Structure formats: structure tokens, C-alpha cells
Chains A and B, each alone.
Chain A
Amino acid sequence: MKQRLVVIGNGMAGARFVEDLLARGGGERWQIIMFGDEPYGNYNRILLSGVLAQSHEPSDIFINPLAWYEENDIKLHAGVRAARIDRGARVVHGMEGVTEPYDKLVLTTGSRALVPPMEGMKGKDGAPKEGLFVFRTLEDCNGIAAYASRCKKAVVIGGGLLGLEAARGLLGHGLEVNVVHLMGHLMEMQLDARGGALLQTRLEQMGLRVHLRKNTKEILGEERASGVRFEDGAKLGCDLVVVSAGIRPNVELAREAGLLVERGIVVGDDLATTDPHVHALGECAQHRGRTYGLVGPCWEQAQVLAERLSGRKPRATYAGSRISTKLKVMGVDLTVMGAREAVTDEDQEIEYVDKKRGVYKKLVVREGKLAGAILLGEAESATRFLHAFDRGARLPDDPAQFLFPAAEAAGPQGVLEMPDEAQVCNCNGVSKGAILASARGGKRSLKALCEATRAGTGCGSCKKDVKALLESCVGDAPAEDPSVHWYVPGVPLPKPELIREIRLRGLRSVSSVFAVLANGREDAPSKIGLASLLKTIWGKDYDDERDARFINDRVHANIQKDGTFSVVPRIYGGVTTPAELKRIAEVAERHGAKMVKITGGQRIDLLGFSKEKLPEVWRDLGMPSGHAYTKAFRTCKTCVGTDFCRYGVGDSTALGIAIEKRFQGVESPHKMKLAAAGCPRNCSEATTKDLGAVAIEGGKWEVYIGGAAGSRVRKGDVLCVVDSHDDVLKYMGRFMQYYREHAKYLERTYDFAERLGIEKLRSVLIADSEGIAPRLDADIQAAVDAYVDPWSREAAEPVHPAQFAGELKGEEPRLVPLRLVPGVRR
């Protein structure tokens, strides 16, 4: 039976927590009940200013409509306030007589507007004065918008983030907007004085009026607000006042229930309150003495609690958040992180100011690392800054190189600046507008968004742009789909754990993996990836179920758009003979190849054969398979090398042939294209291959890994410099085996090399820091030894009579129905 989980609060934190819980399979364990004050599903509060500014419709900002709750079997009390918690009986009493028992209770009550004490807030009748608003909910927003249409001049009390957002919204209604702020500069929580002043200048250029160091004491007017009076006696007339002076955690419910409350509801690293059955997270929670008012920390907390309560990681803990935030203040980009100013004498501040353009960049450097930064009026470097900050990366000795990297200035237009109709995914023709619409429509993880739009599902090179668009819609922490860490979508384990389980339980076939590790649920999209992994793990002891292979690997040829297949025989190192060429030509003619094509990998492609023809074509060619169809070692391109070339310094053709003879057919997470070049002129383009060898003067070879010249272009990294063909083969093989074991399925070497970093690879593969090099060498040798040419094997003896069959014949349809034997219908 399911346990009952009650969540009080249906704002961004509460709904996010429930989403995270469901994504981790928590729906199997918990019956979820939610209380929400507001009578709708939940919405993105960050975009409220957009609604006020009329750049967003209220419907644009909804994250989960009411139907979402129904679909996920969540009982939502929308518009019902939770009135009391009876911790003894473990029951929540709501208004209107609702009662909900709980096994676990999660408080995500959020916060409300903090209204400083002022005179004249109420009219003579004791009701709040007309024209006086706070800015916190969709209802506030609607109220302000309706009232603003009758107004000319507004005062916003509070020059923090929320106040400026409100001001932006009001400017959009054509009002004169005055921001009144108690402190010496705007947004003092995020900005230093110089940044605040620059921001103020930018905002004033947009028409905003800013009044600093003003303490508002009174709201003027009889029944409706007509101005404000400051402590210094000065007055400012207006017909609309919005108070946005900060937030205060909603803690009353918790306090009355006897939980420990200070500024917020006190929680430990397990996000439990003083009652272990009650958790709290989000703006209402206080952790290690801090409360947070930004979404980033809320989302980190939601994820930790979801890990715990789903049972996936029952001991997950939250250790506090490093505050960094990326926002737009009235359209001005602002990214801040860590320290605003130098704290000690050793801290170094580096600033760049461009008053005219309103750009301000500041670094706070401590012990060579980024301790904090402000980036105002410029968004392009934000990701780089955040990256360096989050990872504690060491900055260059000259910090100017970090502030102004040369490449960035010349970079192409970012996806965020493109118009909506611009095509982002060039494989599937998906526009920026379509991606944004889907993200706003509720696809909040990268995986869900890519699946829904098909963007990024072709070559994958636009995924970073899709991610940037997603972040621009949902703030900078999109929902994380836990399955992105799994090796395949149908088995909930990351690659190292999956390998461990497979070895431990001796699972040698794809169907046994589904049976044991996926509750017996067979998942078609996972089959090919599992087959590749099992073959790497077990080698010749792999139980090869042919249905787990992609069609190309079932028939050892490459399927084409018309359902025919292409045949690419292996031509070692791209070196052939007149006799071989003649034979290929004869076969092409005899069997009616529809096209004969020289490939980029220095071999010959014969196109347009039906499946039935394949064994005959192979037999007549008498050449081994070139594996042009599989996720494996493909080919090794070479240049002419030392035999004829007047520049060659190393025998690249002999090396290329040796490489190809050794590694032919070795399967891997994705294809591997290789090249060997006889001199640094690099005619065979070895530096942009998955693996490459380049001869250099002195009888040496540079071994490159992780190069790319396809959907991405990347120069490979030099893994090592060696002085013999044998050593090239040794280190290439060692890298291949490590890649086979550690890369995700369909992760090319260039993404793998970037993910791990060349230093790490050199340390493991050259310095043998983990002591695994001899084992890697032995395992790649085993894979090499296990190679059998599939063409010669299966042309003679198909694995199934129907392996190369075209269409099978059915009998003529008959009118008399067959007599069916009961019990054998399937």
C-alpha cells in the first residue's frame, strides 16, 4: 500500500519537488496530496513581471496546469489553505473542513511580501487604501494591471530585484515610474556600489526615476493612495503605490505546530524539521542559519529531498548552496556569484567599466580562483564565469585573458539573440520558436524537450543551444531527468554501476539484462546500446541475440533511404591494386550497383543492393567487410608517406595498414575514424580524427585523440609522442579500450575526451596512475583476437534462414477462417 505524502504549498518549490519525486519513481511509493492557496496549477513566479509588462499572457507562465495533477494522480486542493497541522495525529486540517492524514509532510509554504510599517496604509473605514499594492502573486499582478490603466504616475517602494521587476512592468503600461529605495544603491544584495550606479544609469535611460536613501514613512491620500512622504519630510505625489521591499518566509503554520522556527523553519542537512516526519524546503526553510530567496537553492533542495523520499538515495544531504544567479533586470543582463567585494588584503579585484554601453565586469580573485564576480549588461560570458566559479577552476595568471578571451569576441551570434523563426536544429528543421513554445508548454528537462521537438536528436550538435533556450525559459536550473545519467533509458543505472551488476550477476544477453535489472520490462530503444556494452564486457562469451542488433549489424551492410544496402569492402590504409580494382568493378557491373562512390575514408562504396544480394556480392568480392555500418573501428586514412612523398618523415601507409589490420571490427560506443599522416603537413587530416598519428622529425609519432571534423570540428589532443609503430598501436589500443569501457553509448571520442580532460587521460593511460594499463592492453588484445570477418562467416552460413530474406510470401487469402485451437492464441 502506498504511503501518504502531503505537500503544503503549490508554488515553484512545492511543484518542483513533486516533479522531481515523480521523475525518480516516487509515484510508486507515495500517494501525493497537495495544498495550494491559489486556485490554479502552479506558475513561474519569476515571469510575473512579464505578465505585468504584458509581454507574457498569464497562460504563458503556467508550469503545470490542473490537468497535470490529474494525469500524475496527485490530489490537489487548489485554493484551499492549510489551516493547522496536528503532529500528534499526523493530520493536516485545511479550510472548508478538509482533513488529510500524512506519513510524511513537506512544507513549501514560500514567502510573502514584507511590508515595512508606514502610516496611512488604511483609509478611514479601516480597509487598505485603494491603489496600494504588494507584488507577489498572479492576483496582485492582475490587480495592479487593472488599476494602472487609470494612472499616470507610480511609486515602487523597494529597489531590489523584485521592485525593479515591478517597475519594468509598470513602465510597460506607460506610467511615469519612481523607484524609492532605502539604501545607497540599487540591488545592494547583488551589486556593489559601482555596479548599482551603472545599472541605475541604464534604467534611467529607459525612463525610470530613482530616489535613493529615502525611507518612506507614510502613504498619503484619503481613501486612495495619492503619494508618499519620506522621513526627511519630502513628498512625492502619485496615484499608484507598489510595495516590494523584500520577502518574509511563511512560517506561521509551522510555528503553531510547535516546530522550531527562527527566521525560517529550521531544517537540518536532511531537510527535516525538528519533527522527523515533517520536512521543509524553499523560501520558508532556514538551513545552517540561512534562508534563500532565489530559485536555484530551492531546486537543489527539492532534488535532495526527492532523492531521499523516492528511496533512490535515502541518505542524500543538502549542504547549502553556492549562490550564483543569472537574471534580467528590466531587460539588462545581470549575473552575480559569490563575493561582491574583496574581503581580505590578499583578495584581488579586477574591474572593467564601459559606462556608455552600460557594461560592468568585475572579478574577485582569491588564491588564483574566482571567489566572486559581477557581470552586468552582457550575457555571453555568463556561462563561462559560472562554470569557473562552480568548479573552483584556476584562472590564468593574467586575469585579463579570462575577462576577454579572444575567441569570444569573434564568436557567432548566440541562440538567445536569434529571431524566433531561426532554425536551431539543422537536422530536423526545428525553429527556435518551436523549441521555446514546447519548453513553455511544460517540457522542462533537456531530454523531454528534445524528445518532444526532435531538436538535438539528429547529429546532436545543437543540444547546447536547446539547453540555453530551455534555461532562458525556466531560469537557469532546468529540471534534471535522472535518466540522463543512465547508460540506456530502459535500465535505471549509470554505466559503471550497470557494468558492475552485469559482471556480478553474469548477465550475458540483452534479454537477461532486462529480466534482472529492469523488472522484466523490455525497452526497444535500449537494446542496441546494451548489446554494444555486453560485447565489450564479455567478448566472445557474449550471448549474441541478433534481435538486439541494429539492422546494419544483422546484415553487415548500411541501410539506405530506399531500404537497399551499401557494401564497403575493407581496403587497408586506402592502398589497393589494379587487380583488386578490376574485381570490384566486375562485381559492381555483374550485380548492378546503382552507384559506385569513392568514400571519405579512402575506400569504395557500392550502393543499391537488396538484402538477398548481399552474400553473393561479398563472395564475389572476396574481400573482408569494411565495417562502414557499425559503431566500431571504421578505417584508417593515410597519406603517401615515405615511399614516394618528398616530404614524408614517417611511413604512414605501413602504419595505417597495421592499424587497420589490428583494430578492424573492434566495436565501441560510437564509430572511430582514424588517420595516419607521414609529416606535420597532415594531408590525411589525422589531427581531426577520433584517433590519429602524425609523424614528426626525429623518427617520432604524435598520437592524437578526440579530434572531430563532422557535425563538430575539434582539433584532437596529443596523448603522447612515441618513437615506433608498435608504440602507436599500443597507446591507440589502450585509449580505445578505456573509451569502450567508460564512454556513454553514442558518445564520440571528442566528447569523451573533453568530458574527462586530456590531463586525466594522460595520467591514466600514459602514467598508469590507476595501475590498469596492463589490463587495458590485455583486454583490447582479447577484442582483437576475437575478430572474425562477418562477411566470410555469414555469406557461407546465415545465422537464420531469413537473415537475408527479402519479402516472404504469404498464401493467397482464404475466406474460410482457420479453426483455432483454444488456449494457443497469443
Chain B
Amino acid sequence: MTCKLGPVDRVPLGEGKAFDISGRRVAVFRGRSGELFATQAECPHKGGPLADGIVGGGTVICPLHAYKYDLKSGRPLGNDCPVLKTWRVELDAYGEMSLLMEPA
């Protein structure tokens, strides 16, 4: 299953944005070199909004307590929170993003 997320510039370069996909909250990230990632929207630590975090080098830092995760694998970095759920995001020739709903 896939879900269209709209044009890629809905997510500012180097940042993340939260999406509501039929009631499921997903954070979509757009790295500075163009790569796209999607993870669960809430930090497993205290529910912080990961889409508001700092993104860089394929990682995100939660804005609440600076817990860090690898965006591709969802793995926690330097903390022992559970692994984030992740999905793949693809970009078509028209710059439209779509989320692959099978777990990446």
C-alpha cells in the first residue's frame, strides 16, 4: 500500500514535518542532500514531536530531551529507547512523495 504525501517541498529542506495518514501520525524528514525518511511521529522516550527535531547526517534529535535516532533504521543512538517504526518514502519524477506502508 502506498499513500501520496504531496510535493516534496511541503517539507522544508533539512527539516521534518508530521503527517496525518488516516489517523496514523508519521514524521517525514527531508535531508539536505535530498534523501527522504519516515518514522513514527512520537519519540518513544516521552512522546516528543520528532518532526520538530534537528535533522542531519541521517539522524534526528528529539526537541524535548535530545534523544537521537538513526532515521533509516530507526535505531536509538546513545540511548536505550525502543527502535522507531520506519517506512520508505519515494519520490516520483514530478517531485511527488509517497509513503510505502509496508514497514521498511
A binds B: yes
Q: Name B67's closest neighbour in chain A (CB-CB).
A: A454
User: Contact: A811 with B55, CB < 8 Å?
Assistant: no
Q: Name A528's closest neighbour in chain B (CB-CB).
A: B54
Q: Which residues of chain B from 50 to 104 have a CB within 8 Å of any chain A CB?
A: 52-57, 59-61, 63-64, 66, 68, 78-79, 90-93, 98-99, 101
User: Contact: B21 with A817, CB < 8 Å?
Assistant: no
User: Contact: A550 with B92, CB < 8 Å?
Assistant: no
Complex interface: stretch among A169-177, A191-199, A518-526, A638-646: A518-526
CA distance A554 to B101 in the complex (A): 30
B residues less than 8 Å from A546 (CB atoms): 12, 14-15
Whether, in the assembled complex, A548 has its beta carbon less than 8 Å from a beta carbon of chain B, the answer is: yes
User: Contact: B3 with A811, CB < 8 Å?
Assistant: yes
Whether, in the assembled complex, A805 has its beta carbon less than 8 Å from a beta carbon of chain B, the answer is: yes
A residues less than 8 Å from B36 (CB atoms): 826
Q: CB within 8 A of B6: which of A527, A528, A548, A808?
A: A808
Whether, in the assembled complex, A600 has its beta carbon less than 8 Å from a beta carbon of chain B, the answer is: no
User: Contact: A808 with B10, CB < 8 Å?
Assistant: yes
User: Contact: A818 with B2, CB < 8 Å?
Assistant: yes
Given A550-B54, A807-B18, A810-B26, output 4 extra A-B contacts at Cβ < 8 Å.
A457-B66, A808-B10, A813-B1, A825-B90
User: Contact: B78 with A522, CB < 8 Å?
Assistant: no
CA distance A451 to B19 in the complex (A): 32
User: Contact: B99 with A810, CB < 8 Å?
Assistant: yes
Whether, in the assembled complex, A802 has its beta carbon less than 8 Å from a beta carbon of chain B, the answer is: yes
A residues less than 8 Å from B52 (CB atoms): 551, 559, 563
Q: CB within 8 A of B57: which of A457, A523, A550?
A: A523
The total of Cβ contacts below 8 Å across the A-B interface reads 134
18 contacts between A and B (CB under 8 A): A452-B78, A525-B66, A526-B56, A527-B54, A551-B63, A559-B52, A559-B64, A561-B46, A801-B10, A807-B19, A807-B20, A808-B5, A810-B26, A813-B3, A815-B1, A824-B91, A826-B35, A826-B91
CA distance A801 to B15 in the complex (A): 13
CA distance A545 to B54 in the complex (A): 12
Q: How many residues of B contact A (CB 8 A)?
A: 52
Whether, in the assembled complex, A710 has its beta carbon less than 8 Å from a beta carbon of chain B, the answer is: no
User: Contact: B91 with A825, CB < 8 Å?
Assistant: yes
CB distance from B61 to the nearest CB of A (A): 5
Whether, in the assembled complex, A109 has its beta carbon less than 8 Å from a beta carbon of chain B, the answer is: no
CB distance from A333 to the nearest CB of B (A): 35
B residues less than 8 Å from A818 (CB atoms): 2, 4, 90, 92, 98
B residues less than 8 Å from A800 (CB atoms): 12
CB distance from B2 to the nearest CB of A (A): 5
CA distance A551 to B33 in the complex (A): 20
Whether, in the assembled complex, A812 has its beta carbon less than 8 Å from a beta carbon of chain B, the answer is: yes
- Supposing A522-B57, A550-B54 touch, asked if A808 and B93 sit within 8 A by C-beta, the answer is no
Q: CB within 8 A of A810: which of B3, B13, B68?
A: B3
Q: CB within 8 A of A551: which of B32, B53, B93, B101?
A: B53
Overall SS of chain A's interface:
loop
B residues less than 8 Å from A522 (CB atoms): 31-33, 56-57
CB distance from A742 to the nearest CB of B (A): 25
User: Contact: B55 with A524, CB < 8 Å?
Assistant: yes
How many A residues are at the interface, by size bracket?
Answer: 35 or more
User: Contact: B12 with A820, CB < 8 Å?
Assistant: no
CB-based closest 9 A-B pairs: A547-B14, A524-B56, A810-B21, A821-B93, A551-B52, A811-B4, A813-B3, A807-B20, A522-B56
CB distance from B94 to the nearest CB of A (A): 9
CB distance from A111 to the nearest CB of B (A): 39
CA distance A802 to B9 in the complex (A): 9
Q: Name A458's closest neighbour in chain B (CB-CB).
A: B65
User: Contact: A524 with B54, CB < 8 Å?
Assistant: yes
Whether, in the assembled complex, A698 has its beta carbon less than 8 Å from a beta carbon of chain B, the answer is: no
User: Contact: A802 with B17, CB < 8 Å?
Assistant: yes
B residues less than 8 Å from A563 (CB atoms): 47-49, 52
User: Contact: A547 with B13, CB < 8 Å?
Assistant: yes
Q: Which residues of chain A from 503 to 562 have a CB within 8 Å of any chain B CB?
A: 511, 521-528, 545-548, 550-552, 554, 559, 561-562
B residues less than 8 Å from A808 (CB atoms): 5-6, 10, 17-20
- Supposing A810-B99, A813-B101 touch, asked if A547 and B48 sit within 8 A by C-beta, the answer is no
Whether, in the assembled complex, A814 has its beta carbon less than 8 Å from a beta carbon of chain B, the answer is: yes
Whether, in the assembled complex, A755 has its beta carbon less than 8 Å from a beta carbon of chain B, the answer is: no
CA distance A270 to B48 in the complex (A): 52
- Supposing A522-B57, A818-B2 touch, asked if A511 and B101 sit within 8 A by C-beta, the answer is no
CA distance A774 to B2 in the complex (A): 62
CB distance from A458 to the nearest CB of B (A): 9
A residues less than 8 Å from B63 (CB atoms): 550-552, 559
- Supposing A807-B20, A811-B3, A814-B2 touch, asked if A824 and B26 sit within 8 A by C-beta, the answer is no
A residues less than 8 Å from B21 (CB atoms): 810, 813
CB distance from B57 to the nearest CB of A (A): 4
CB distance from A819 to the nearest CB of B (A): 8
Whether, in the assembled complex, A391 has its beta carbon less than 8 Å from a beta carbon of chain B, the answer is: no
